[in-house]
Structure 1
């Protein structure tokens, strides 16, 4: 199955099927089967196997489809200004908070945690590879562009990403997984995205004497 960067190549019908699989994960969790998805999506199991391979392939595609909703605003990789960098970081934070607080993401992560180390399937690794790790891979070019343009100062992009991710996430995900609602309204998400970005820039933003002339 294609990675998150290629999710736009899915047909509308395939997207509908993946949305169906995500809804079933919310409703059934561990009980998700190819037969159940085929029945709910009104398609054949043969079609699912053709499109996604086995159950792990379907789960991978659903995670990728969900993760693709966290967008990275394109920036000028050669010459990036601070306004564009800030907008890209805020947009990423906003999308991530919207996605992670959705019923589908909460259900998907709960199932993945329940399966971790159990030998049932590879869902834990699938969620990590196509969720957190893939999202890091997509944002790091923006961070690197910010460094090249003289707006950010850091030695390691992974460390910088983890700091930004932590500032955005705080305790939100663990509270959601434990059934608490941290008040993520549209207004709260917007405020949190701006706050996290400003905190990140305060930590990694270049001082005037460090900026590229």
Structure 2
């Protein structure tokens, strides 16, 4: 996700009013019924952008507005939960239970890249990002801050344990995990997301995503690898 609106601290502060949303607590995730509601929100955003009403979500998801307010707090809470639900579709690499090897590190990076690139170039993610970009700096919506906080900033936090494990095992060398993340982001995403946001329909298919991801992991290890 490509917005640059404010320092991390300011964005995290901006997102705090919506943190009563489903999934805000550690280890807590939406129920199956709540997932259906969040998927309905995503489909509305593909069709209409983020100008939908809570009433429209209630109709699309066949539930009451009272239930939506109970689950998500308010409209910003609903947007936050929706962004988090979409971001949760990126599969996290599992650290090996035994000794980390360079091959298992490369496999974990490749697997994460494949899942990440598949999610962010999907119609649902593109709709979220287009809506966020359309309101950036206008004061009409906090969606930009919500997307940044629960998108790239969250991905950075989720990848850091893998980077640290690679450094501890002697396979990676970096002074700043954030800098390493930005390098990995650039290698994986490149201009694919920008092109999709601008209406380019030639998005990478599954085979191309596998090739891009494997190459990105190899290039990242060339940049930050040791030995």
Report TM bin, short chain: over 0.9
Deviation at 1:140, TM superposition (A): 0.7
Q: Among 98, 111, 132, which residue is 1:91 paired with? A: 111
Cα separation, partners in 2 of 1:122 and 1:78, compared to 1, 3 Å: farther
Q: Could you say which residue in structure 1 is the equivalent of 2:17? A: none
Q: Among 129, 134, 141, which residue is 2:161 paired with? A: 141
**Mind listing any 5+ residue stretches in structure 1 that lack a counterpart?**
208-213
Cα separation, partners in 2 of 1:123 and 1:183, compared to 1, 3 Å: closer
Which SS does the other structure have where 2:118 is aligned?
Answer: helix
Q: Distance in 2 between matches of 1:187 and 1:88?
A: 18
Q: TM-score, normalised by structure 1?
A: 0.92
Q: Distance in 2 between matches of 1:34 and 1:85?
A: 44
Q: Could you say which residue in structure 2 is the equivalent of 1:34? A: 54
Aligned residues: 206
**Mind listing any 5+ residue stretches in structure 2 that lack a counterpart?**
1-20
Higher relative contact order (CA 8 A, sep 6+): 2
Q: Distance in 1 between matches of 2:106 and 2:216?
A: 11
CA contact (8 A) 2:121 2:203 kept: no
Q: Distance in 2 between matches of 1:87 and 1:181?
A: 29
Q: TM-score, normalised by structure 2?
A: 0.87
CA contact (8 A) 2:192 2:203 kept: no
Moved over 6 A (4+): none
Q: After superposing the two structures, state which structure 1 stretch, 92-101 or 68-77, moved more.
A: 68-77
Q: Distance in 1 between matches of 2:190 and 2:163?
A: 20
Which SS does the other structure have where 1:30 is aligned?
Answer: coil
